[in-house]
Structure 1
Amino acid sequence: MSAPMDPATASAAPRPEAVNDALATVIDPELRRPITELGMVDSVHIAANGKVTVAVLLTIAGCPLRDTITADAQKALSAVPGVTAVDVELKVMNQAQRDALKEKLRGSGGQRKIPFNEPGSLTKVYAVASGKGGVGKSSVTVNLATALAAQGLRVGIVDADVYGFSVPALMGITQSPTQVDDMILPPVAFGVKVISIGMFVTGNKPVAWRGPMLHRALEQFLTDVYFGDLDALFLDLPPGTGDIAISVAQLLPKAEILVVTTPQAAAADVAERAGAIATQTGQSIAGVIENMSYLEMPDGGRMELFGSGGGAVLTERLGSTVGTEIPLLGQIPLDIRLREGGDAGLPIVLGQPDSPAAAALVGIAGQLAARPRGLPGMKLDLQPR
């Protein structure tokens, strides 16, 4: 694919260093790293007339984002002084090149493991839980993740609600994951890497699995999916304290629980069980989020459709149960635009950032972003002088 330039703008042939620097700005849309760093640049030829021909290696022949890579490479190279035309040739990695890529991404040997459990991992892992369905847990997860990504953080979501998966639709994702041998590259939306069982089923087909299958699916998401170095990973859990909640505790023992509830007293009672599981699993509770807290009226007043105080009551109960203070991270008002954004696949924090619900969600995300990435167990390699 060639992009011609105006020869009048070219005063001299482009410098190889400038061409290489331009290619280093081209980011692989799935791996989120420069194509030069990933060994995807096979060859570069600079003609005397200023035409640049670059061969780019795709991970697989059917790479869904090949057009994006081509367009980004053409745009970057076209801006280099002296370039009169750009021709991007797409090739496919051979097995040895794919093996080298996997080793670069996964480390020596390219072995399968859960990277978030490694001693050097600084990723904050949040398991978003609720006592029952219908409290907006998935909407909260998606908006918190996209709000953090909008602040420049590297974020991922595992849609662990295998039976009731909804994250792909809430984020407008229709692209399937890319599989490179035994490594899966998750789709990216709004800067967030996302994986869901919904990306592997046909249509709206139900998933009818027992506990062992659920555990295996979650384990494969955490070992085979390449998320890279994340600042935060959110797991959207199914309601209650069933198999997935137990599997998360086993597979990600450092995960912190974010409990979502509504102001209703009965909902807080049920949500308490979802948070209190931490006493059995040894996990910590990052905080409580109260959703659907109130409806703002045209006259500036508030209508508390589902009562009030459920979130505060829940923090007190959980604090008493686990023996430490649990924060109420925020109260999110009812907002029809939150629902509309979910239906449209555009989170409200991006589509309607000035709305009260978006402001509340961004505030909660800010508190999570302010928490330092963990250092326990990390070797700093300090040497005495």
Structure 2
Amino acid sequence: MISFLLGGCIGFSAVLYFILFPEPWSMRTLLTITASIIVSFPLTILLHELGHLLAGRLQGMRLLNMSVGPFVIERHEGKHHFHIARSALGYLGRAMMYFPKHLEQDMMRDKLVRYIYGGPLINIVTGVLMIGNAFGIWHHPFCILFGLANLLVGITNLQPNMAKSAMTDGLVIHRLRTVPLEESVIVTAYSALTEGMKTTEVNKWNADLIRQMERLLSSEDPTAKSLLPTIGYYYLPEKPEKVLDIGRTSAFTRETAAFDYYADCADITFATALFFNEQLKDYPLIEEELRKIGKSDAIMDLKRDALLSYINGDFPGAFEHLNNAKDALGKWHPLYLRGESERKLLQSMIETMKKEC
């Protein structure tokens, strides 16, 4: 209902503007309107992410990476680096930030709410100002179209919705405010991010944080499945039985293949633990379960293909897929960041397979 009303208001505002301030229809006018539409949306997304960045900085957070479409700027070792990479989880843009030091969870939650609000609020304020400017001061198509684009992005982002595996800002805020801290996957994930910036050696992380992740994996929140890979980095390859015990209720639970990033995380990690525990080939319907893993991420896709090759005795194919996965991590990856933990796990899989063949 809100989306319907918003669409109606935006359409009415656009029509009213062109009635009050008609443009002489010509090729130049058409090109101006077309260019305004094309430019408005990426600028709106950029402004949205800058709003998150500003709000995050005011909360003491630091930037990890910011993207608009496939264009990414990420920071590490005191330098900024530019990449072109497919958006993670279908986000049109993202400003990923972290807390440089550990905070009490209630304080972290409050700061996160303000950080998340920064994006949509700057869009809404910009939208109101640009629309007011279009009607009152500078009557130009770009002003009204850029203003309406900002209003659309800002208000729709505050609606608590899920688009595939991506949460709107409104849904993140809703969960931060309503889910108890001890059950909050979002707060736990940001705590893990803080820990990860201290060291990529996951087995050196705070043990209490790992135990909290383990507890969340038994919860009913489907997004908690995204924590299982971190548990995998903590225990694998030495203790695969721990990962199997923790992930037994969250992995291989879907009936059919479907886009589900969180299920993909759980399934590929559980399958990797089966491999290290020498149970993969004997697991019931394992090939069918592996083929349900989607293509939400190239690394998981290649690991799935490597495990299928291994099951069928195709060791050269398995090695090729695992090496391709290491290459796909590159210098930076939108989901794995620097990728050190995943790269070590892939290498361990290769070495284990070499011993067997």
- Structure with greater proportional helix content: 2
Work out whether the TM-score is over 0.5: no
> Larger % of strand: which?
1
What is the TM-score of this pair, normalised by structure 2?
0.32
Higher relative contact order (CA 8 A, sep 6+): 1
